[in-house]
Structure 1
Amino acid sequence: MLRDVYQRAGVLNTGSYLTTVNELCDQLPALRPELLQYVTSHLRTRVDLSGVTKVLVEEEKGAPIGTAFSLLTGLPLAMARHYPYEFPSRTISFSSEYDRNTLNVNGIEPGDRVCVIDDTLSTGGTVAALIEAVRDMGAEVTEVAVVVEKAGNGGRELLESELGVPVRSLLTIKVAPDEVHVVEGIS
């Protein structure tokens, strides 16, 4: 099911990278509940949640997946949002393949053990910023779980080699100007 979604995905040139437009990340077409269930149940089998106290997602594209994952696992959901609050949160700057912006991390407390969930790992910029924010807040990221990893953009290397956080993914893809190639992963 997931392979099919990415093999049917549209490709968009952001000027620096080729990115996909698809049902899971962009709700084009609208996201089917069975796809969301499929993705979250498979993500759950890939991660070690022993000792994890919270799930953290970025609101734009990770929110549907993180919310479903929170419901499936019973873990509280923390959110990194694009708009600030007057309440305590941690504001971070990030740079990804399609955006340069700030996020406000809410719901993380000192001592939390966090699993970061995201839809796509490409350059690793967004997730790296989330990891740094969690650390600055006195908590720890135990691992990162992503649905899709884009091969060749350096995200896995940044997170695992430089930041020391293991990455679990369901599917690895390469994006060409007019199609998406599935390199490896679940069906």
Structure 2
Amino acid sequence: MKLLKDVYEKAKVVSVGSTLITVNEFSDQLPALRPEVLSEVANEVVKLMDSTADKIVTEEDKGAPLATAVSLLTGIPMAMARWYTYRLDSVNQAAVDITSEYFQGTLYLNGIQPGDRVVIVDDTLSTGGAVISLIESIRQCGGEVIDVICAVEKVQKEGAVNVFNKTGITVKTLMKIKLSGEKVEVLGFDELTS
């Protein structure tokens, strides 16, 4: 995880209201995301995830590049939760409220069928709001969440605790960070990563 660590050690930290966020190559494509960074992270996610999944789910914002790469590496189809509805009668769609560090509104998930075994893949775990909404939408469609993997966890927001308390699901992460002032402190890596 040398490249991902380097990306976050060089990340800019900005204040949005009372929230500190990172702006970086991996989650924001600032600068443009190098294929070798995406490949490194996607390969680590594949090593960590339950490979018996029928589908991969992410949200259309920052998790999309990573989930797409994981789908390509595993051959597992991907469904993407969106911020708008298609309004098609023939679609099995779930609509759930979402409150996350970055967004508040409604999340719409299509492409999950009853009985599907689903892995959620996302770039960052912060408050856990997006992951909780994804879990709720998958369950609303009749799917089963068998794994949740986020590449980076901002530990001070306690997202992993929030997700577990609301859903009973443990989130796996590759790298843990802490934001302090204008600096990103890399705290460690999951023991399964290189």
Q: Which of the five TM-score ranges fits, normalised by the shorter chain?
A: over 0.9
Aligned pairs for 1:44-123 within 5 A = 44-50=46-52, 52-87=53-88, 88=91, 89-123=93-127
In the TM superposition, what whole-angstrom CA distance separates every residue of 1:125-182 from its partner, at most 9, and x where no partner exists?
A: 0110110111111111111111100012121012224312121111000011211000
CA RMSD of aligned residues (A): 1.2
**Counterpart amino acid of residue 42 in structure 1:** E
CA distance in 2, matches of 1:60, 1:86: 20
- Code of the residue aligned with 2:18 in structure 1: it is S
Give the percent of matched residue pairs that are identical in Structure 1 and Structure 2.
Answer: 47
The list of structure 1 runs, each at least 4 consecutive aligned residues, that deviate by more than 3 angstroms after superposition, is none
- 2:132 and 2:166 in contact (8 A); partners too: no
Separation of aligned partners in 2, 1:136 and 1:104: 11
Aligned pairs, how many?
A: 186
Conserved in 2, the CA contact under 8 Å of 1:14 and 1:98?
no
Q: Partner of 1:43 in structure 2?
A: 45
Letter in 2 for 1:113: R
Per the alignment, residue 126 of structure 1 pairs with: 130
CA distance in 2, matches of 1:181, 1:174: 5
Equivalent in 162, 167, 172 of residue 171 of structure 2: 167
Q: Could you state the TM-score of these two structures normalised by the residue count of structure 1?
A: 0.95
**Secondary structure at the residue paired with 1:152?**
helix
Q: Which amino acid aligns with 1:178?
A: E
Q: TM-score, normalised by structure 2?
A: 0.92
Question: SS at the partner of 1:126?
Answer: helix
The answer (yes or no) to whether the contact 1:16–1:97 under 8 Å persists in 2 is: no
The 5-angstrom pairing of residues 118-157 of structure 1 reads: 118-157=122-161
Question: How far apart are the structure 2 equivalents of 1:126 and 1:34?
Answer: 26
- Of the structure 1 ranges 79-88 and 67-76, higher mean CA displacement relative to structure 2 is found in 79-88
Aligned partners of 1:85, 1:91: CA distance in 2, in Å? 11
Once the two structures are TM-superposed, the CA of residue 85 in structure 1 deviates from its matched residue by 0.2
Deviations 1:13-47 (A, max 9, x none): 12132110000111000011111100000111112
For structure 2, list consecutive stretches of 5 or more residues without a partner in the other structure. Answer: none
Residues 66 and 117 of structure 1 are in contact (CA less than 8 Å); yes or no, is this contact kept in structure 2?
yes
Partner of 1:9: 11
Aligned partner of 1:74: which letter? G
Residue segments in structure 1 that go unaligned for 5+ positions in a row? none
Q: Is the 8 A contact 2:108 2:137 kept in 1?
A: no
Report the AA paired with residue 103 of structure 1: L
